[in-house]
Structure 1
Amino acid sequence: MTMPETIHGSCVVVGEAGLLIRGASGAGKSTFARDILLHAGREGRFCRLVSDDRTRIAPRHGRLVASPVHPLAGCIEVRGIGIVRQPFEQAAVIRLVIDLCEHSSRYPDPQDATIVLCGVVLPRVFSQSGALFADIVLGRLSGVCDTVVTL
């Protein structure tokens, strides 16, 4: 049985889909989480912070569930301002992992399209740190960006 673990990452929930955002320190996880929340909110979708910087992940019935690490629950870092409090959810089922990196491939390898966390296979996308990517992620949640075109 795979045990819960705490990872360096942020999580937001959009509708019923949890998005786990991972990356190195300073990669922009908090900024990306805030960008997702802003875009989803403007579209009228339910969206809320689950965790920032530290996220607890655990397998439950074949799904990966993310939750905040206390005492960080309800806190998110805003670069240049500091830590701010905001409404948050206690847990979310992860539906997509977003890995922020310095350099992403122009065309990712098919084997990189999924990742196994705590024994659960999840879809994954890469984004270059600082890239404007929230609309693509939200489109993927809506099913409009799930098809890979082969030329």
Structure 2
Amino acid sequence: METNELHHASTVAIDGKAAVIFGCSGSGKSTLALRMISLGATLISDDQTQLSLEDGVLVALAVPEISGKLEVRGMGIIRTPFEPRAIVSLFVDMDKVEETRLPPAREIVLLGQKATLYHCIKGDHFADALMQILKYGRSD
């Protein structure tokens, strides 16, 4: 059985592992996605991401109408290479700022599946840290 939901989120991936970045309009979703792309990630979808449960695996899918397009505030819509899908590895909530130096592991449940959740970090290292986590995981 397949289940699908459309979410207000930007998604990038590296090595087939996706980071789904959600938050209110203007929260920095596309900016974080652009930074991660500059570090080697590939766009899945900007501003809207289709989430699908396929054989018990949470998958992020590009929305066909906006595939390969990324909104850059102050510059407009730019083109970028994209992948049509990736397995969700983690979520980022841009509306919540991390206040803890060593935060606990957090989870979110979407489509009945648990996934790792991070809150926004106000610092230049946030995209770098997310890239490392996507590549190598977190040590808990």
- What TM-score do you get using the length of structure 1 for normalisation? 0.82
Q: Is the 8 A contact 1:2 1:118 kept in 2?
A: no
Q: Is the 8 A contact 2:18 2:134 kept in 1?
A: no
Matched residues in 2 for 1:108 and 1:53: separation?
A: 29
Instruction: Please name the residue that 2:113 is paired with.
Output: 120
Q: Gaps (5+ residues) in structure 1?
A: 42-46
RMSD: 2.0
Matched residues in 1 for 2:13 and 2:97: separation?
A: 26
Normalized per residue, which structure has more strand?
2
Q: Gaps (5+ residues) in structure 2?
A: none
User: Superposition pairs for residues 9-20 of structure 1, below 5 Å?
Assistant: 9-20=9-20
Residue 100 (str. 1) matches residue 94 (str. 2): yes
User: Superposition pairs for residues 47-86 of structure 1, below 5 Å?
Assistant: 47-86=41-80
The residue type equivalent to 2:65 in the other structure is P
Instruction: Please name the residue that 2:136 is paired with.
Output: 143
How far has the Cα of 1:119 moved from its partner?
1.0
How far has the Cα of 1:101 moved from its partner?
2.1
SS at match of 1:141: helix
Q: Is the 8 A contact 2:15 2:135 kept in 1?
A: no
How far has the Cα of 1:107 moved from its partner?
5.2
How far has the Cα of 1:9 moved from its partner?
0.2
Matched residues in 1 for 2:53 and 2:86: separation?
A: 12
Matched residues in 1 for 2:67 and 2:135: separation?
A: 28
Larger Rg: 1
SS at match of 1:37: helix
Instruction: Please name the residue that 1:31 is paired with.
Output: 31
Q: Is the 8 A contact 2:69 2:79 kept in 1?
A: yes
Q: Is the 8 A contact 2:52 2:59 kept in 1?
A: yes
Matched residues in 2 for 1:109 and 1:142: separation?
A: 20
CA displacement 1:115-149 (0-9 Å, x = unmatched) = 11111111111114x532011112222336x224x
Matched residues in 1 for 2:129 and 2:17: separation?
A: 15
The residue type equivalent to 2:29 in the other structure is K
Matched residues in 1 for 2:12 and 2:86: separation?
A: 8
SS at match of 2:65: coil
How many pairs are equivalent?
Answer: 139
How far has the Cα of 1:2 moved from its partner?
6.9
